[in-house]
């Protein structure tokens, strides 16, 4: 049986990361990319606007926009500013690391632009639930708020108190408290109680994941 010719590198990497598992196809992709089948590698998800920082990179269309997928060794320590990092795996499991990388970056924020899947714990299992329609009522309620109120809640869950939240935003404590009182009434959550704050924190993170989109692709390098 004649050997199939090598695949173009970008196509080989896209297939390795997104195609259904197929031992023959996986081996052809690995051969085309000259990847050692015993190496420990991980996938990094970033904006397709990001310049390539490793030779093993390509762009991939996802439900959240076009992303840059980059394969690096488990020892790599230099990454794009905003990125999601999948777990280190064997090359034949890189599609799993890619899915993890996308999950991780969906929980990124301006304050925490780089997220490692390894640090997400049980939160990683909740992110796919945000793709269901209709969304959970807590998520839908937060997503319906004006963006300035969503930003306020993002700051609130990252701070130890309302006063610290006001300081972080450069606003007066009383004005922030008044806004939170109004938001509390709209959401039906008791933001002053530990259980209410916990519920809010999870809902804010999951709303972030639901709303995440990669920056629109114009002339990003491929």
Of 126, 132, 171, the closest CA to residue 151 belongs to 171
Q: How many Å apart are CA 176 and CA 182, to the nearest integer?
A: 10
Residue 72 falls within a domain, yes or no? yes
Per-residue pLDDT of 133-178, as tens digits, reads 999 999 999 999 999 999 999 999 999 899 999 999 999 999 999 9
Between CA 93 and CA 90 the distance in angstroms is: 6
Within 1-146, residue ranges assigned H as helices are 9-18, 23-33, 94-105, 123-126, 137-143
- Model pLDDT for residues 10-23, shown as the tens digit of each residue: 999 999 999 999 99
Looking at the structure, tell me whether residues 27 and 109 fall in a common domain.
Answer: yes
Omega prior to 198 cis, within 30 of 0? no
Report the predicted TM-score, pTM, of the whole model to 2 decimal places.
Answer: 0.92
Domain of residue 104 covers: 9-119
Average pLDDT, the chain: 93
Number of domains in the chain: 2
What confidence category does residue 71 fall into, taking pLDDT thresholds of 50, 70 and 90?
very high
Are 13 and 104 contained in the same domain?
A: yes
Residue 1 lies in a domain: no
| Residue 36 sits in the same domain as residue 136 | no
Q: Which residues pair with 59 in a beta bridge?
A: 68
Q: Residue 207 is part of a domain; what is its CATH number?
A: 1.10.10
Is there a single domain that holds both residue 89 and residue 145?
no
CA dist., res. 50 & res. 33, Å (int): 21
Across 178-197, average pLDDT: 91
**Using one digit for the tens of pLDDT, what is the confidence trace for 82-97?**
999 999 999 999 999 9
Question: Quick check: is 4 in a domain?
Answer: no
Residue 63 predicted with pLDDT over 90: yes
pLDDT at 3: 64
The answer to whether residue 219 scores a pLDDT higher than 80 is no
Q: What integer pLDDT is reported at residue 220 of this predicted model?
A: 46
> What's the whole-number mean pLDDT along residues 182-194?
90
Residue 101 and residue 168 share a domain = no
Looking at per-residue confidence, does 6 or 32 come out higher?
32
Considering only residues 184 and 218, tell me which one the structure prediction assigns the higher pLDDT.
184
Q: Looking at the structure, tell me whether residues 35 and 56 fall in a common domain.
A: yes
């Amino acid at each position: 049986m004649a050997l199939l010719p090598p695949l173009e590198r970008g196509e080989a990497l896209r297939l390795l990361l997104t195609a259904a598992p197929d031992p023959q196809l996986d081996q052809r992709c690995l051969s085309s990319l000259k990847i050692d089948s015993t190496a420990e590698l991980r996938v990094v998800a970033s904006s397709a606007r990001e310049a390539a920082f490793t030779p093993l990179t390509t762009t991939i269309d996802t439900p959240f926009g076009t992303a840059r997928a980059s394969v690096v060794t488990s020892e790599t320590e230099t990454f794009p500013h905003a990125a999601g990092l999948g777990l280190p795996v064997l090359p034949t499991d890189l599609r799993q690391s890619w899915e993890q990388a996308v999950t991780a970056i969906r929980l990124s924020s301006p304050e925490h632009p780089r997220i490692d899947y390894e640090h997400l714990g049980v939160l990683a299992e909740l992110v796919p639930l945000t793709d269901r329609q209709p969304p959970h009522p807590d998520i839908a309620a937060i997503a319906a708020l004006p963006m300035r109120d969503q930003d306020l809640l993002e700051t609130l869950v990252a701070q130890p108190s309302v006063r610290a939240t006001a300081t972080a935003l450069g606003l007066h404590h009383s004005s922030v408290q008044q806004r939170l009182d109004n938001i509390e009434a709209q959401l039906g959550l008791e933001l002053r109680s530990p259980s209410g704050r916990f519920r809010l924190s999870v809902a804010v993170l999951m709303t972030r994941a639901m709303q995440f989109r990669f920056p629109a692709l114009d002339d990003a390098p491929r």
